[in-house]
Amino acid sequence: MSRIVALCFLLLAAVLGFLHIDSRPVWTPFALPSVSPVEDQVDEPVVSKNKALPKVVIPTPQSNWLPDTGAPSVHAASLIALKDGAVRAFWFAGSREGAADVSIYSSVYDSHSANWSAPTVVMDRISAEKGLSRYIAKLGNPVPSRLADGRLQLFFVTVSIGGWAGSSISAITSDDEGLTWSNPQRLISSPLLNLSTLVKSPSISFTDGLLGVPAYHEWIGRFGEFLRIDAGQVIDKRRMSSGRSAIQPLVFVSDAQDASAYFRQARSAGLPKQIPVSKTQNAGQTWQWSEDLAIANPNSAVAGVALKSGARILALNNIETGRHRLVLMMSNPQSGQWQVIEVLEDDESLADAQRKEFSYPYLITVNGDDAHLVYTWDRKKIRHRYFSAAWLKHAFSKIESQDLETKGQEVQQ
């Protein structure tokens, strides 16, 4: 009898939760950054026909490390551009992933000096417990966003019982670009137990100022969800994928209504180890499963960013097994074809026992033409790479030429 009563209670709670969400305001279109054509991004030198073109020097990508916290294990770095053009990074560090001593750290990158500031602790387990008034066993996955009023918001996951599958999302805000933070607030994304909701990728803005947060579940099912958030409250959510095969969605917005989500595949043996794709044509209200992106994925996170030119960049492990190779890829907006433009790390030639892990990439652009990348380096460091606008324009020109060459060969055949 008690089981029947409990079941009825759960069903009633689910219905009330559904009605509560369904009564919320309608969805508005995606907010779009200004986009200019690729041609306008490249300044061609004006020279006489009788003179040779000046040699263009393309700066090589910069590479450095996020500051050392003294912890033996680090992971899950993320980035956000600050109002003054600097970049703030977040990551977690401790004795090991999921340990009670793990804290979320932050540091600021000064583009003029090309240096990172000393790390500061943003959140630890004890502070999370006090702020949320609940037991916290571990925390991780910091993901920053910019609110419509200009404040910074940092999402992170906490676990009270069990592993990462038992996570829930919490958030803190900052009025001073990350120098100080508010007390944490727990996001209620489920009307029942509010378990198994995690974040990994950047949020999307709507024209009404609300945030669209790509989230995912790892308990019972492994799937993506799109959360619509207003003032720290989940006012709606929509399923992005189904089953047990796709997590950690990365969203590329094409226009006010259309967007594509690329997932980390978590498929069982025998199924394609490629990037699952889902698409929306109504600003995230509904998502339809689409054809895989034919790029290898070994059950590892994918990062990406769109440039003002329309070109898109991906950072990922483009192998079916392991995380010992990490590359940067770019697509031509006309052809949609992806090509490797930089091999970031590659231990393929080493024995299995000697291979390091390069994983959990995160990409942003500050001005729409450049790109900052951070990723986990052997779980011991966080590597930062900067790709200038000139370098990315040069990379784009190369893939554009290759696309034209491929199209010409196809015509001849």
281 in any annotated domain: no
- Between CA 12 and CA 132 the distance in angstroms is 26
pLDDT at 20: 44
Write down the pLDDT at residue 55: 64
Which candidate, 160, 193, 218, places its Cα nearest to that of 6?
Answer: 193
**Model confidence pLDDT, tens digit, residues 90-101:** 999 999 999 999
pLDDT of residue 23: 53
Q: Per the structure block, which two tokens stand in for 88?
A: 């703030």
Residue 248 CA to residue 261 CA, distance in Å, equals 9
Q: What amino acid is encoded at 314 in this protein?
A: L
Give the pLDDT confidence of 283-334 residue by residue, as tens digits.
999 999 999 999 999 999 999 999 999 999 999 999 999 999 999 999 988 8
Distance linking the first and last C-alpha atoms of the chain: 73
| Segments of the chain scoring below 70 in pLDDT | 1-25, 34-56, 192, 406-413
Q: Is residue 292 part of a domain?
A: no
Cα–Cα distance for residue pair 60/54, rounded to 1 Å: 19
**Considering the domain boundaries, does residue 353 fall inside one?**
yes
Residue 169 lies in a domain: no
Query: Does residue 341 lie within any of the structural domains?
Result: yes
- Residue 362 is assigned to a structural domain of this protein: yes
Q: Per the domain annotation, does 124 fall within a domain?
A: no
The pair phi, psi for residue 401, each rounded to 5°, is -65, -40
Q: What are the structure tokens assigned to 399, written together? A: 């893939």
Contacts of 100 (CB under 8 A, 6+ apart): 94, 125, 137, 138
Q: Indicate whether 412 belongs to any domain.
A: yes
pLDDT at res. 7: 40
Range(s) of the domain holding residue 317: 35-44+301-413
* Per-residue model confidence (pLDDT) at position 400: 85
pLDDT at 38: 36
Tokens at residue 120, please? 């500061």
Number of domains in the chain: 1
Question: What pTM does this model have?
Answer: 0.89
Dihedral (C-alpha) 280, 281, 286, 290: value to the nearest 10 degrees?
A: -40
Tokens 């960049």 map to which residue?
313
Contact call for residues 167 and 143 (beta carbons, < 8 A)? no
Is 410 within 8 Å of 365 (Cβ atoms)? no
